Amino acid sequence: MHLPRYDPSRTYRWNYDHAPAPVEVEVPDCPGEWSFCGCRVGSPLGVPAGPLLNGDWVLYYASLGFDVLTYKTVRSSARECYPLPNLQPVATDQLSGGHPTLPTTPKMQGSWAVSYGMPSATPDVWRADVERTRDTLDRSKLLSVSVVGTIEDGWSLEDLAADYARCAKWAVESGADVVETNFSCPNVSTCDGQLYQQPEDAAVVAETVRQAVGDVPYLAKIGHVTSPDDADELVEALRPFVTGLAMTNSVAAVVEHSDGTTMFDGQPRGICGDATRHASVTQTRLFRNRGAARDAALELVGVGGASSADHVRDYLDAGASAVHVATAAMVDPLVAVRIRADLAANVTPSPT
């Protein structure tokens, strides 16, 4: 079956305005009992912040076997998208960090550089859209809304925290079941994109957001972390305030054409898709094995390169309680249906 999908050759705006309608496909039940941030759900599968540009995209992917739908990161004011290309396929093996330079490739081979700059509709537009979406979405599914603060000249950290919190509160007032703060977008150069590397500052933001959202489940989305000490510091800083951590946003790399010229003015971009899977599964295991994360019972959401039931199992074995799929879901909208069918066909028999 050929289903409509995001068109990378067209602008963000075009894709925003051309969301497909929900489809009727048979979605196999996922064996086992699953919860997300304390709420019962039908599977461990979700879509992270990115592919779901607005409520219509949320409803489309909800019809395709995903149980947790994350609304693409929104802001307290409108923001334009970076120019095309927003999705540049790259040729690469599994990435481990260290800012490599990667060659472009004309055809998608599983991984791409993502370059959007976190565009956002105005708050009145996204708030109304979130409300309508939650009203329309089946009650068995969860709607998470990703937010980011928008730093302005002269702002203090407290101002930035208040901006994150304002968006989070609006999301909750509009009906979000879960809120997520993006602490990790590598495609913007301001500090709002890199808070996960500044645990003390991230804690100030997370505390302010927690105060704004009350006891609503709250996730922090973080970037690539490889050092146990960095993981400990981040967990210690965030654990009083967050329900869980979603990782890994992407792995940063510079992208160059075959003639040696760099793309994106030589600035790194987040590589998403298959090439980030090993790094992200390793990171999930690292965080799960840190004492502080265990003590705080932090939920870990595995994100990065998942496209099969085996990948889902790898994440769950590493300590994730949910697995969210962006790139593979954009390339193949039926990916969750396939994963669910495979999980159902290969249920591990329980010991008698």
Q: Contact positions toward ligand FMN, by CB under 6 A?
A: 48-51, 72-73, 114, 116, 118, 146, 182, 185, 221, 249-250, 272-273, 276, 303-306, 325-328
| Residue closer to ligand FMN (CB basis): 194 or 292 | 194
With 0-12 / 13-18 / 19 or more C-beta atoms within 10 angstroms meaning exposed / middle / buried, residue 198 is: middle
Q: How far is the CB of 170 from ligand FMN (least distance, A)?
A: 16
| Residue closer to ligand FMN (CB basis): 50 or 65 | 50
**Tokens coding 324:** 């969210």
From 50, 55, 119, select the one nearest 82 (Cα to Cα).
Answer: 119
**Tokens coding 334:** 């039926």
Q: How far is the CB of 280 from ligand FMN (least distance, A)?
A: 7
Q: How far is the CB of 306 from ligand FMN (least distance, A)?
A: 6
DSSP notation for 227-293: -HHHHHHHHHHHTTT-SEEEE---EEEEEE-TTSPBSGGG--EEEEEGGGHHHHHHHHHHHHTSHHH
| Residue closer to ligand FMN (CB basis): 11 or 156 | 11
From 178, 1, 13, select the one nearest 80 (Cα to Cα).
Answer: 13
| Residue closer to ligand FMN (CB basis): 212 or 301 | 301
With 0-12 / 13-18 / 19 or more C-beta atoms within 10 angstroms meaning exposed / middle / buried, residue 130 is: buried
| Residue closer to ligand FMN (CB basis): 235 or 306 | 306
Contact status, residue 210 vs residue 164, Cβ threshold 8 Å: no
| Residue closer to ligand FMN (CB basis): 142 or 306 | 306
Q: How far is the CB of 259 from ligand FMN (least distance, A)?
A: 26
Q: How far is the CB of 228 from ligand FMN (least distance, A)?
A: 22
Question: Could you tell me how far CA 326 lies from the centroid of its own chain?
Answer: 7
Q: Distance (Å, rounded) from C-alpha 17 to C-alpha 11?
A: 10
Q: How far is the CB of 160 from ligand FMN (least distance, A)?
A: 16
